[in-house]
Amino acid sequence: MPLSHMDNTPPKFKPEKSPYNHNRFKWHIAKLTFWSFMFLGLILVFFIQSPSATSSSSSTSSDLTRRSLKTSSWGGPVWEKRVKSSARIRSRNGFSVLVTGAAGFVGTHVSVALKRRGDGVLGLDNFNDYYDPSLKRSRQALLERSGIFIVEGDINDDALLKKLFELIPFTHVMHLAAQAGVRYAMENPSSYVHSNIAGFVNLLEICKTANPQPAIVWASSSSVYGLNTKSPFSEKDRTDQPASLYAATKKAGEEIAHTYNHIYGLSLTGLRFFTVYGPWGRPDMAYFFFTRDILKGKAIPIFEAANHGTVARDFTYIDDIVKGCLGALDTAEKSTGSGGKKRGPAQLRVFNLGNTSPVPVSDLVGILERLLKVKARRMVTKLPRNGDVPFTHANISLARREFGYRPTTDLQTGLKKFVRWYVSYYGTGKKSDQ
Ligand SMILES: O=C(O)[C@H]1O[C@H](OP(=O)(O)OP(=O)(O)OC[C@H]2O[C@@H](n3ccc(=O)[nH]c3=O)[C@H](O)[C@@H]2O)[C@H](O)[C@@H](O)[C@@H]1O
């Protein structure tokens, strides 16, 4: 119809009944159905391909829901290749070691030392933000350069742990993942229960059913001595008076270790570390943030005990701790169980790894002042009642006898190495560094 002959009244709606229109309607329905199926199919494919869904065939639906909330991703052929390559043993009689907390301070150093001597090393770390995660990422980059892959995940993720043990028959687990720090336990108590108790139990549950069962060496803490006043601290001394929740969770770990050793034949060695310090250290520790704050000209709180008593620590240098960890791994006997059942008695040990010479915190500050060539703004404060103990002092004769542990680095020498690293990593904060 030509445009000029149209009137302005709106056309009345008439149902269209022609066969042509009927076919068009059917065609639309078919198209709609087709695209709906395509859309649903895509969602299904995406779900099946997602790492959390492929990671374990035995996962329960609640596992899937829980893990799908996680941000870390794992699984797939490329990931598996990296896992296997990192864990490959390169020396005769070498170990294959799962290092939990590999992006942590001690974890990084131990991983490098193991790899260097030809052991297969696979890291596991959840990269949490208890302290600056960028430092953990830098440590990760360091490990990558040595051929060590860190799987990103939590020790509470049982499906992930199962998968790792399916891929690699680990001979050893070096368990260093933990919520560290004595004072932070008052701020965030549940994080200590989550990592140091629930996470440890989850790891042991997986280890007990693994075939072969690995031998486990793990980080306990000097803080388990708590209010003990007998000095130096010996492994035989009482450890039933923890002064912080942190210490209580580490002590709980020692009791849990006893149970898994007793019921399942897992070989377990706990190492009581004494205030470990050194390059790539933890920014929440006093020697580390004192260095930062002295350089910034910020006042530093130096704790003193009752009646102006000295607060002292048996500061232990990281290289000595690494030697202790390797000694413990090398003398760890095999676990005796299989298929989740104990087949005979297994080794259960606890060792102090300290330096055997406590240093007052005020002396630590003096050393830092000399190394940094900056006078500290000291602010002497009463020891807060939040878990700190006045002193620690290790008796290390047991570790010396068992695996020749002999610390060789005094605080002055160790702090010199730490300060050199600190300045190269962060600069001094002076204008010339910026
Ligand atoms: O040996 C251990 O088992 C523990 O060692 C350290 O705990 P801590 O010895 O308290 O280490 P720092 O927090 O670095 O404190 C070192 C010393 O400095 C003192 N301090 C700390 C903080 C502060 O502001 N001022 C201060 O004088 C503390 O009282 C302590 O005597 C670690 O943080 C724990 O994770 C570890 O388990």
**Residue range 80-115, pLDDT digits in tens:** 999 999 999 999 999 999 999 999 999 999 999 999
The predicted pLDDT at position 73 comes to: 83
Q: How far is CA 61 from CA 48, 64, 86, 404, in A?
A: 13, 5, 31, 49
The predicted pLDDT at position 205 comes to: 98
The predicted pLDDT at position 430 comes to: 67
Residue 330: Cβ within 10 Å count:
12
Mean per-residue pLDDT, 216-228: 97
Nearest CA to ligand 1 atom 21: 286
pLDDT > 50? residue 7: no
Using most ligand atoms within 8 A of CB, pick from 317, 361, 377 the residue to mutate for ligand 1.
361
Residues in CB range of 332: below 8 A, 6 or more apart: 172, 215, 216, 217, 267, 269, 347
The predicted pLDDT at position 387 comes to: 87
How are beta strands 312-313 and 359-360 bridged, if at all?
Answer: antiparallel
The predicted pLDDT at position 72 comes to: 64
Q: Report the percent of the chain where pLDDT is more than 90.
A: 79
The predicted pLDDT at position 329 comes to: 99
Question: Which of 41-55, 147-161, 302-316 is predicted with the least confidence, judged by mean pLDDT?
Answer: 41-55
Q: Are 99 and 124 in contact (CB under 8 A)?
A: yes
Structure tokens at 104: 């942590």
Peptide bond into 283 cis (omega under 30): no
- CA nearest to 109, candidates 142, 83, 85, 84: 142
Report the interhelical angle of 245-264 vs 200-209 (nearest 10°).
Answer: 10
Q: How far is CA 233 from CA 219, 238, 330, 402, in A?
A: 17, 9, 24, 17
Note the pTM of the prediction, 2 decimals: 0.85
Q: What order do you get walking across the sheet with 96-100 strand by strand?
A: 149-152, 120-125, 96-100, 172-175, 215-221, 268-273, 348-353
The predicted pLDDT at position 374 comes to: 98
Rounded Cα gap, residues 250 and 237, in angstroms? 16
Mean per-residue pLDDT, 281-302: 98
SS3 of residue 57 by DSSP = coil
Q: Measured from the CB, is residue 136 less than 6 Å from ligand 1?
A: no
Mean per-residue pLDDT, 209-230: 97
Specify whether 264 is catalytic: no
Q: Report the percent of the chain where pLDDT is more than 70.
A: 82
**Tens-place pLDDT, residues 347-381:** 999 999 999 999 999 999 999 999 999 999 999 99
Structure tokens at 92: 């005769």
Q: Measured from the CB, is residue 151 less than 6 Å from ligand 1?
A: no
Q: What is the mean pLDDT of the chain?
A: 88
Using most ligand atoms within 8 A of CB, pick from 186, 275, 308 the residue to mutate for ligand 1.
275
Mean per-residue pLDDT, 133-156: 98
Longest dimension (CA), the chain: 112
pLDDT > 50? residue 196: yes
**Tens-place pLDDT, residues 293-323:** 999 999 999 999 998 999 999 999 999 999 9
Nearest CA to ligand 1 atom 16: 286
Residues in CB range of 369: below 8 A, 6 or more apart: 294, 375, 376
The predicted pLDDT at position 385 comes to: 84
pLDDT > 70? residue 38: no
* pLDDT confidence bin for 431, thresholds 50/70/90: low
Backbone angles phi, psi at 242, to 5 degrees: -65, 145
Q: Are 149 and 86 in contact (CB under 8 A)?
A: yes
Using most ligand atoms within 8 A of CB, pick from 245, 308, 313, 377 the residue to mutate for ligand 1.
313
Mean per-residue pLDDT, 163-177: 98
Interface predicted TM-score of the whole assembly (ipTM), two decimals: 0.98
389 alpha carbon to ligand 1 midpoint, in Å? 9
Question: DSSP code of 394?
Answer: B
pLDDT > 50? residue 54: no
Structure tokens at 37: 């199926």
Q: Are 145 and 112 in contact (CB under 8 A)?
A: no
227-243 b/e (C-beta count within 10 Å ≥ 16 → b): ebeeebbebeeebeebb
Q: Give 268's strand partners.
A: 216, 348
Mean per-residue pLDDT, 62-71: 40
The predicted pLDDT at position 386 comes to: 81
Amino acid letter, 9: T
- CA nearest to 280, candidates 176, 378, 120, 135: 135
**Tens-place pLDDT, residues 395-413:** 999 999 999 999 999 999 9
Q: Are 200 and 218 in contact (CB under 8 A)?
A: yes
Nearest CA to ligand 1 atom 5: 275
The predicted pLDDT at position 11 comes to: 38
Which one of 131, 246, 260, 405 is the catalytic residue? 246
Between 254 and 44, residue with greater pLDDT: 254
pLDDT > 70? residue 2: no
* pLDDT confidence bin for 28, thresholds 50/70/90: low
